[in-house]
Amino acid sequence: MMCGITGTPGTGKSMIADELARRGHTVVHITETVGPYVTGEDEKRDVQIIDVDRWVAEFKPVDGFVEGHFAHLLPCDRVVVLRCRPDELAARLEQRKYREAKIRENTEAEALDSCLIETIEEHDPSHIFELDTTGRDAAYCADRIEAFVRGEIPADFGHIDWSSYLEAHL
């Protein structure tokens, strides 16, 4: 079974995936697989341009977890969408030395549910679990994800609403 772990940059994907790997799970970090699919650089947005369609078509499924910002585009059996309150997300991205424009872009994407919406468009709702990482450590999040994959926690999404962040920051 392949489980995607997706979310806006800064929501905890890599940290939680590393915890799952420490627990013995197979984990593939998307950043380690996209190199051959990079077609350029969008300097204004400070991101690589990736031929996502080709990457998805050529990706070899794994029995384990696939972690990355667009893991939800893969044919996963389950998908976990990590969420984080935008003010905490901004603080995390500031620690990473993101530029102000990039922080704003990501916090707005989080407040608008961008990754969740894309996931819902790609996957059966009964295969999606939304997890708020705000103030949570990797062990707690990994416990919840393992329980979801084992079927002990049902699919669940749509209960997180960061729209008030947009109202306060626009």
Known binding-site residue numbers for ATP: 10, 12-14, 96
Helices 100-111, 114-122: crossing angle, 10 deg rounding: 50
- Residue 58's Cβ-side half-sphere holds a number of Cα atoms within 13 Å equal to 11
Match 């800064």 to its residue by tokens. 10
Q: Residue type at 135?
A: G
Which residues fall in the annotated binding site? 10, 12-14, 96
**Which tokens hold the place of 80?**
């976990």
Long-range interactions of 120-126: CB distance < 8 A, separation 24+: 120/157, 122/72, 122/73, 122/79, 123/72, 123/76, 123/79, 125/155, 125/157, 126/155
CA distance 110 to 82: 10
CA distance 33 to 88: 29
